[in-house]
Structure 1
Amino acid sequence: MSGELRAEEFQAPGPADFNLPPVGGDFGSFHLFGQEWVLGVTKPMIQVVLAAVLVFGLFYLASRKRAMVPGKLQYIGEQGYGFVRNSIGRDIIGSHDFQRFVPYLFTLFFFVLFNNFFATIPFLQFPTFSRAGMVYGLAALTWVIYNGVGIRKHGLVGYLKLQCLPSGVTGPILVLIVPLEFFSNLLVRPVTLALRLFCNMFAGHLLLILFALGGEHLIVELGGAYIGVGLLAWVLFIAVAFLEVLIQFLQAYVFVLLTAMYIAGALADEH
């Protein structure tokens, strides 16, 4: 009975664990939509800036002393650029139009990747994009770019027609198809693009917290017969941490891959 009571003392991690306090204190607060909003610089904000600096610094150093026989850093930079340029840009957008979008796709991939990797780096150990607002900003930028290039090529009316009127579809069914296509292609895409990255980063980090803190509680607070279960929780924590590294890479790849697909769809003459 006492073990059950002590087990109930464990506070399971939840969304509140992602609401980090401002670094160095807050600058004030205000009320909006029935909630209190605190002004301040948070850890995810710092990580966004840090990721931008690291991406710029890494590839600046990799390209600063270019040589016919590349050194290790130049080789890493060339392989990273070639991966995004060829496997995503050229293969998805096509050889005619892809080159002008490579700088954005390249920067976007490594920016997302570095922010995802922060979840497994000691002393940081927080995925930047487990905060939805950060991801929606990137998705909104992608939304502006692919709609912008589509409107620039086809004109506003022509672009809306291509996005909302599937080729070969005629008749009364258009009353149903046109609103669905408009909703799907122009409104939902940035939301689903953001949610995919956000949910994976959020769920993975929450799972790591659960195994780490749960194992500690079983070993330190309960002890006895619970020690074995606590050690198993820590083993699962390590296994999930390695799995998360793979997921962090895949989510960066998927985010940029879908961005390239949306750009290709905006440039296409028909769907």
Structure 2
Amino acid sequence: MHAASLIAAPFANDGGFHPPSLDDFFPEGLLFQGTIFEINRIHLIQFLATIVVVLILVLGTRRMRVVPGRFQSLVEMGLDFVRVNIAHDLLGRKDGNRFLPILTTMFFMVLFMNLTGVIPFLNLPGTSIIAVPLVLAVVSYVTFIYAGIKKSPKNFFKNSLFPAGVPPFLYIIVTPLEFLSTFIIRPVTLTLRLLMNMLVGHLMLVLFFSATQFFLFTAGGWFSLFGVGTLAAGLAYTLFELLVAFLQAYVFTILTAVYIQLAVAEEH
């Protein structure tokens, strides 16, 4: 009977174990409640991540020395990673330098907002609600369209929707597919990929650590052994989330660079 009651606890409202839910991403307002400017905990986390990344980049590049210190070296490593492995590698030196500021901003903004999900007392990624991923996806979308129009004002949309080498009678099929894949699916997938990865990651971490608390401090007895297992799983998943935070920043930025590269390709 004791075991049965513990198994039923996640579904009870009696102070037992309650699994995480999407309500975590809709916290109560802290400032300006009831207005369009309402600020909740996630907004404060986003503000904090933005302030931190701006301070790091400004302080790290303000007084650069020929022989850099540790902090400058760390900042330079991050900047060089975006410049060499994303911008120059995909776009070449000329176009890479043109779009380097926006790619660098995108990478570090996503990275730092992702990392807040594993920082104690914050424990929520700033990218786990749709606003930030959507805004960044729109910026990416506008940038690659701008790059294509700038490269070939007359032929960008024509070459995007009517690719060369396709028999004319197939355009009735190809053109709608190209429109969907190029101008609709790209921003949607950019948004959802980042949003869902960080949302699910938060839910998994909360599940592991709330289960640990339940097994160790509420269930007691032999159920404490389950707490040891969920704690170990939570710690391992925290390390995995650090990797995911970096990979999602990298993937988002590199896909933006790929879209820009396709827009400035010679056929456009």
TM score, norm. by length of structure 2: 0.92
Distance 1:39 1:75, change over 3 A: closer
Residue 35 of structure 1 aligns with which residue?
Answer: none
| Equivalence for 1:173 | 170
Corresponding residue for residue 27 of structure 2: 20
Question: Which piece of structure 1 moves more, 242-251 or 223-232?
Answer: 223-232
Identity fraction in percent: 36
The reply on whether 1:9 has 2:9 as its aligned counterpart is: yes
Task: State which drifts further: 1-10 or 227-236.
Answer: 1-10
**Distance of 1:127 and 1:56 partners within structure 2:** 18
Cα distance in 2, alignment partners of residues 60 and 100 from structure 1: 20
2:128 maps to: 130
Amino acid at match of 1:109: F
1:245 counterpart residue number: 242
Instruction: Please give the per-residue CA displacement for 1:97-149, whole angstroms capped at 9, x wherever unaligned.
Output: 11111011111111111111111111111111111222111111111111112
State the SS of the aligned residue for 1:28.
Answer: coil
Amino acid in the other structure paired with 1:27: Q
2:157 aligned to 157, 160, 174, which one?
160
**Aligned counterparts of 2:58 and 2:161: Cα–Cα separation in 1:** 42
Where does residue 222 of structure 1 map in the other structure?
Answer: 219
Q: Which runs of 5+ in 1 are unaligned?
A: 30-37
1:149–1:267 contact (8 Å) kept in structure 2: yes
Counterpart in the other structure of 2:44: 46
2:100 paired residue number: 102
Alignment RMSD? 1.7
1:116 alignment partner in structure 2: 114
The answer to whether structure 1 residue 191 and structure 2 residue 198 are counterparts is: no
Aligned length: 261
With structure 1 as the length reference, what TM-score do the two structures score?
A: 0.91
Runs of 4+ deviating beyond 4 Å: none
